[in-house]
Amino acid sequence: MATVVVMPQLGNSVESCLIVSWQVAVGDEIAENAIVCEVETDKASMEVPSSAAGTVLAILWDEGDDVPVKEPLLVVGAAGEDPQPALDAAGWKGKDGEEVTQTEATPTRAAEEPTVEAATQPERTEATGASSPRARNLAAANSLDISEVAQGSGPGGRVIERDVKATLADATRGAARAGAHGAGVEGTGLGGRVTTGDLSAPTEGGAPQAATPAFVTSGEREFPGASIETPLKGVRKVIAERMMHSLASSAQLTYTSTANAAGLLALRKKLKGSPEELGLSGVTIGDLVGFAAVKTAAKHTNHNAHLSDGVLTTFEQVHMGFACDTPRGLLVPTVRNASQMSLREFSAVSKDLAQQAIAGNISPDLLSGATFTVSNLGGFGIESFTPLLNVPQVAILGVDAIFPRAMVNADGSFGVEQRIGFSLTADHRVIDGADAARFLQDLVRYVENIDVTVLG
């Protein structure tokens, strides 16, 4: 009998996944655990394996669909077998809650364009108020009230990302929001800007005036070579939306400071040569700075906090997120209860999480729940940067490179010392400049006395 493969529960906090791309088509022979599609949550991309071997009989969703966990994804069985009995046994009612026919359940290709039926669903007769996290983030980043989305094409009428995109792409709204000028058309707004009224007003022929975008030309200059257009998808798309949402929803300000790095370098050298059985030889400069940052965040609880819907929540324990560069893009694993760990534990857990993230098999549950984040670009030689908040967090610490700086000795002679830079971004709605300065003062003190800090 045919087997229904369902969307797996990819973490306790995951309610649905967006299908990024199908890796199989109807008629393909697949093995058990073969990858059938790539999906993304609001935090990461993952691959979904098949729970059965056989011929792909039916693919039930299109790329771009937001699929609830435990919902049927596809049907696998013997070649030529009818998938409908298996779907009936699974209680499958179709994407919109209605029985599907044999034709609807068996598209000819897995990666085909969404069906006409899916693209022209009737408007909802009642507002469900449900929307995916990606839809909410995209709407917030573009100052769009999610309730303005006329209809949802997700399961049960749920508003998903493509619905928000469709609303934003509306020519009248888009041109009016951007203040675009129609070609040869004078608007009635300030400075001749075209307004919504201008765009919807009848022309001399009686038809509404369509928005005509203005293009900037390069004269007779030509650009050599070909260009490549690559749609954002997967983790890259998630990062883009989260960063836009971060900037649009918070008041971010970055403060910089430096610390004498002599103690860091000396302790790192000593630990590197320590006995293997102590488990400290692999501790890095990044581990030491991260450990000091955790101690600082534990003291300054207004930095170890979330701000959501006008409510500030401070946390007793520091759950430290750290930016991790992976082949799929930026991920932020969370070292839970970092403020209760020894240096050895902190270093070991951080490395294990980083390896999971780079390998692409980290659980989404380990990519959430951080209360404070550290982003380290010092290894790339960056001396100062502006890290963006991982909202709803209210602070993130950027770790810069260690670099030489001239100094004046007590006897008046000149010398050189190694210093490390820090870039603290804080949400000015709840963290004043003086608060951020005090955080950095304590961090510098912990770093410059790191041999004592790690004993605390």
The dihedrals phi and psi of 146, each to the nearest 5 degrees, come to -60, -25
- How many angstroms separate the CA atoms of 305 and 371, rounded? 6
Q: What is the DSSP string of 210-268?
A: PP-------TT----S--------HHHHHHHHHHHHHHHHS-EEEEEEEEE-HHHHHHH
- Three-class SS of 305-339: EEEECCEEEECCCCCEEECEEECCEEECCEECCHH
pTM: 0.65
Residue 97 maps to which CATH number?
2.40.50.100
358 within a domain of the structure (yes/no) = yes
> Is there a domain that residue 204 lies in?
no
> Is residue 133 one of the residues assigned to a domain?
no
CA dist 407 → 37, 399, 413, 414, 417 (Å): 58, 22, 9, 6, 7
CA distance 318 to 370: 8
Distance, CA of 137 to CA of 41 (rounded, Å): 13
pLDDT, tens digit (0-9, with 9 covering 90-100), for 50-83: 999 999 999 999 988 888 889 999 999 999 999 9
Q: What is the CATH number of the domain that holds 279?
A: 3.30.559.10
Tokens 């009224």 label which residue?
197
Between CA 240 and CA 244 the distance in angstroms is 6
The 10s digit of each residue's pLDDT in 433-445 is 999 999 999 999 9
pLDDT at 110: 37
Tell me the pLDDT tens digit for each residue of 21-55: 899 999 999 999 999 998 887 666 788 999 999 99
Q: Which of 119, 134, 158 is the last residue of a domain?
A: 119
Residue at which a domain ends, from 78, 94, 119: 119
- The Cα 33–Cα 27 span in angstroms is 17
Does 213 reside within a domain?
no
How many structural domains is the chain composed of?
2
In this prediction, the residues of the chain whose per-residue pLDDT falls under 50 are: 100-129, 171-173, 175-183, 196, 200, 210-220
Angle (nearest 5°) at CA 28 between 24 and 34:
55
CA distance 95 to 93: 7
State whether 279 and 423 are in the same domain. Answer: yes
254-268 CB burial, b ≥16 within 10 A, e <16: bbebbbbbebbbebb
Q: Could you tell me if residue 198 is inside a domain?
A: no
Structural Rg of the chain based on CA atoms: 27
Q: Is residue 441 a contact partner of residue 433, using CB atoms and an 8 Å limit?
A: no
In a domain, 15, yes or no: yes
Residues 257 and 400 in one domain: yes
What is the pLDDT, as a whole number, of residue 228?
83
Query: Is residue 181 included in any domain, yes or no?
Result: no
For residue 173, the model assigns a pLDDT of 46
- Contact (CB, 8 A) for 40 and 20: yes
Which pLDDT score is estimated for 107?
A: 42
Q: Is 134 helix (H, G, I), strand (E, B) or coil?
A: helix
Q: Residue 62 has which token pair? A: 């299109």
Last residue of a domain, one of 102, 119, 136: 119
Structure tokens at 167: 């609303």
In a domain, 297, yes or no: yes
CB atoms within 10 A of CB 235: 22
From the list 353, 342, 340, the residue with the least C-alpha distance to 278 is 342
Residue 223 has what pLDDT?
Answer: 55
Q: Which residues make beta-bridge pairs with 214?
A: none
307: phi then psi, degrees, rounded to nearest 5: -120, 115
Q: Which domain holds residue 51?
A: 3-119
